[in-house]
Structure 1
């Protein structure tokens, strides 16, 4: 039996509307990505932070994902966004790249222009190990950025530590908390850079005050939001686990299609607060 003309018209109209809505959503999500990250600001009190370090500002950026689609112009947008915040320190929390140094060194070059009072620091993400983590650790050092490979440095008022990503276990270079934190002064506050939020439970056991992470992209877009929520203790924002706080950035780039829906890219300025101020 032939479909009545009215019903056929309605079916075609619904299909066309759905197609237009999907196209509009993808277009909007792509434009959101290519405009560059927005700036978020969050104040995080740390019990051990001295009054002299009250107001210390860390520009946190993760998941820049330089590659065939997001290249040098993307890096420049990220760098300019960070520099406009005039941070005390820059923390690059993994997944900087999707490719090797030979192909992506020009795209990474604007990172040399990062500006902050105490420098820029970097820890590996899982994607660095897909590309060759050692070459990228060496290259970011050439760009004036300090890699923290299961290591720690003392800053005015607190320690900054970093652990390798869990993906490094395949190369016998995974996270080593003892190496990063074993001999520290427990009276000093410590901020830990760790790419994946899933390390938070180990972080709690080591008495870390604040963990800075990325990896989730805030879900990036449906249906990946469900996967991110199912596989990470925190998808985005600030949460407390025991005496440790965890902040997860939505990241500045994308994995796969350069589309973000409901999870715009960000650079977060974390302002540390002393309870003694």
Structure 2
């Protein structure tokens, strides 16, 4: 049974050493940058944060809703690309163009259409998060062993039963790998959308701290966002390692 570690000792030691050197350079004024606080100042700023609970709840809600939408939409589109030749022939080029468009460039368009709202955040975050699922599921369908399809035909399964009992279970490993990337993407785009589109959540709180010239609070928000990303990634690595043989290698995780 695989076990996921949030930290490895060597990496943790390096992080502590970087913080110690950072604190020393700032305290001795060797690193004299006006808006670069020391680690001790950043730690003290956590007690000064206001409304962080509501901002955290908003960001997590948007990211999770976008992740679920991306998972469902990505699975459907990926299965269609992998199974239906007409969809692959006539739709693949268009999907490749859409996939390569930077999501940040589409945020002004989304803002004009839906306005500064949670809906806009969810739409752009789910759009970005769906592509890893689409690519992984479509690739998973194409790599299904032909003998599995032969078994389905031998058993005279209907197309619906073949899809639900053979194809979908076979692409679950690819789906989970894509889901790991999708969750990270949904969180990142949700925060960027809060900075640029909808003034709410952790992203907007970070921008407010920057505008108020409170660098220690700004860094505190950055650390909070980093911890959320770390925990989300660890959760998905654990799920992939649990359900995908060799998942730690395929998804880039550490077991």
> TM-score when scaled to structure 1?
0.24
Q: Which has the higher strand share?
A: 1
Tell me which protein shows more helix as a share of its residues.
2
